[in-house]
Chains A and B, each alone.
Chain A
């Protein structure tokens, strides 16, 4: 909550797209590698406080897009604003406000987990203490371990803790659940949902529709460097034509009304069929 006070109120926010409360605006973003067009002129907004999912197959351009927003890669064309700041001209100022988990994170072999968290914290004007971060990700007993001695899931959690070390208002997570067992995956989902409760904006990439559906408020589907669809999970299911007719019997005393069903976002149409049986 304290985060909200750090936002530069009204700092040259791009108003295109009509979204007054966008924390990220991307316009006409293009990036090529030789003949490959990794990102092909995409535009989108990310709203403050939402979880935004980038969904797409291998090589779709998810990582490229994310890393341009993070200031690690430089776009060939287009305009990117992060928290009102032009990512090319105010890279460091923008980077001080964001948290980043890369698709693969390797850390210094000779530093312990706690030392790593403290070191990365020192790069920012304000940092959360390593011990409270370790408590957050339930990794206290590994404080003195080296990163390479952690299990895959523990390493993912450490990478997430590193993304939170500066208490950022905007967090980028590149495939945060890849390589996790189902239980760890669920736990990480909870952690990500808690980030939103704490007022943070989360941008994540994933290969899985179910993950995007469970976590994201809005999803952009990326394919071959283009956004082929962009909507809420329910809206996407609608536009993608995944319609189903569900018939059921409403027990007497059960209070679901047809009007209530109509009010649900995912329900296109609800009808009552007369007759007792």
Chain B
């Protein structure tokens, strides 16, 4: 037991040293993510965008709906247009609205009974404003719901809840680059494993009393720690240079980065367990990381992707990692709000780990 702890500590320290000295890894994870942040940050500008253009259709005509309308109108981050449903939706189609919120008949009455329907239309052509609009509407709804459990009788929208920070391109990109970094930094563990096996390093270690679990476990922990450190550097740059605002908790952020790293590591180990040569492991690494890079929602949203890609997108762990990171960084989501993402990432980790443990070979 003491011996295992001692070996683990030494192996962990050695792994951290090796990862730090591995320039290629640093360049292909933190380096690429930083380059992306700078290129896109400067290309698309990082100044605040205009107000969110919200079309409001009041079909309810109750005191509650009137109150909601006036509160939304008073909000600085929204530019409110009111009109008929057909006119507002047409304006949305024409690109003159970012979202249209319809207060359907029975809303005021339904609020008391807990069944108050709202209908929302988003502008799907611009992902950034769509994300911003979605965030805004969600916070409006959340606030309404909180108001129900609160003291009657008014529906109150606090200024803060609706003051959706205008989401800039760089704000949206930052969590995506963090997810991307986590993928790049950890998937490559399989290539290293194959390299160690091919060069006979694993065989030499197999001649010592070291347990494979200690070797693998220390490598996992080292990679998670390195990923968290690299993520911290990336976020520091985003905050200092581009004034990106992290809305949610740092703890939740750290946990999701660690979980994402574990999921990616496990998949990397599967690659490392099956690939017979380094070329094969590198090819597999590309085959796994390229689709995720473009379809995982790191650089651009995938909501408007063609339907046949949906199953692929929904199977990819990076999709969920990015979603969770955006939730925390852009919208201040807590762990409860991103539990689906967390569960899917954990499932990926468990399944991949089981597969790789079954397939592990020293030589």
Contacts and interface: CB of A to CB of B under 8 A. Distances in A.
B358 interface: no
B207 A72 contact: yes
A177 B200 CA distance: 19
Interface in B187-206: 199-201, 203-206
A248 to B, nearest CB: 49
B200 A106 contact: yes
Interface in B167-212: 199-201, 203-211
Nearest to A120: B208
A106 B199 contact: yes
Contacts of A108: 14, 18, 201
Nearest to A116: B14
B229 interface: no
A124 interface: yes
Contacts of A105: 200, 204
Contacts of B209: 92-93, 95-96, 123-124
Of the four ranges (under 10, 10 to 19, 20 to 34, 35 or more), the interface on chain A belongs to 20 to 34
Contacts of A107: 201, 204
A111 B14 contact: yes
A28 B9 CA distance: 41
B141 to A, nearest CB: 52
Nearest to B13: A119
Contacts of A120: 208
A104 interface: yes
Nearest to A98: B207
A111 B362 CA distance: 20
A122 B362 CA distance: 20
B10 interface: yes
A67 to B, nearest CB: 8
A261 B18 CA distance: 61
B203 A110 contact: no
Interface string B1-39: 001001101110010011001100000000000000000
B207 A71 contact: yes
A115 B207 contact: no
A115 B21 CA distance: 13
A86 interface: no
Contacts of A106: 199-201, 204
Contacts of A70: 207
Interface in A90-143: 92-93, 95-96, 100, 102, 104-108, 110-111, 115, 118-120, 122-125
Q: Which 4 A-B pairs have the closest CB atoms?
A: A122-B10, A110-B18, A106-B199, A100-B207
7 contacts: A71-B207, A72-B363, A100-B208, A104-B200, A122-B7, A123-B209, A125-B3
Interface of B: 3, 6-7, 9-11, 14, 17-18, 21-22, 199-201, 203-211, 362-363
Given A106-B199, A123-B7, 18 more contacts: A72-B203, A93-B209, A96-B209, A100-B204, A102-B200, A104-B200, A105-B204, A106-B201, A108-B14, A108-B18, A110-B22, A111-B14, A115-B14, A115-B17, A119-B14, A122-B6, A122-B9, A123-B205
